[in-house]
Amino acid sequence: MPSLINLGPLQTPIKVKFSNLEILAVDDSKAMFTMRMTRTCHWADAAALTNDVSKLWTPRHMLSFPQSSKVYERTPATVVADGSQMTLTEELRVTFYNEWDYVSYPMDKRTFTVKISTGSGTELLEPVTVIMDPVTLPTDLFGFKPTSQMGATVLSAGVPLGPSGVFGKSQMIQVEATATRRFYYPAVQQIVPVTLCVLMSYGAFFVKVKNWLNARLVVGGIPLLMAASYMRKNSGMAPPGTPLTMMDYWMSINAILIGLGCCHHCYCSYICERSGETAATDFDVAAAWCYPLTYGASYVWAYAVVNWRDSPLIELDGIGHSLWQITITYGAALILVLIFISIYAGMSFNKPKFMETEGDADEVAKSHYPGI
Question: How do the pLDDT tens digits run along the chain, 372 residues long?
Answer: 665 544 445 688 999 999 999 999 999 999 999 999 999 999 999 999 999 998 898 998 889 999 999 999 999 999 999 999 999 999 999 999 999 999 999 999 999 999 999 877 888 888 999 999 999 999 999 999 999 999 999 998 888 888 888 888 899 999 999 999 999 989 999 999 999 999 999 988 888 877 788 888 888 889 999 999 999 888 888 888 888 899 999 999 999 999 999 998 888 888 888 888 888 888 888 888 999 999 999 998 888 888 776 555 544 444 445 566 666 667 777 888 888 888 777 766 655 544 444 444 444 444 443 433
Characterize 294-312 residue by residue with b for buried, 16 or more Cβ atoms within 10 angstroms of its Cβ, and e for exposed: bbebbeebbbbbbbbeeee
Q: What is the CATH number of domain 2-181?
A: 2.70.170.10
Q: What is the DSSP annotation of 203-264?
A: HGGGS-STT-HHHHHHHHHHHHHHHHHHHHHHHTSS-TTPPPPHHHHHHHHHHHHHHHHHHH
Cite the residue boundaries of each domain of the chain with CATH code 2.70.170.10. 2-181
Cite the residue boundaries of each domain of the chain with CATH code 1.20.58.390. 184-365
Alpha carbon distance 156, 117 (integer Å)? 10
Regarding beta strands 14-27 and 128-131, do their DSSP bridges make them parallel or antiparallel, or are they unpaired? parallel
Alpha carbon distance 147, 4 (integer Å)? 44
Interior angle at CA 242, CA 142 and CA 107, nearest 5:
45
Model pTM?
0.79
Which CATH fold would you assign to the domain 184-365? Answer: Methane Monooxygenase Hydroxylase; Chain G, domain 1 (1.20.58)
Alpha carbon distance 255, 195 (integer Å)? 10
Alpha carbon distance 233, 235 (integer Å)? 5
Mapped onto helix, strand or coil, the DSSP state of residue 128 is strand
82 Ramachandran zone, left/alpha/beta (phi>0; psi -120 to 50): beta
pLDDT of residue 26: 95
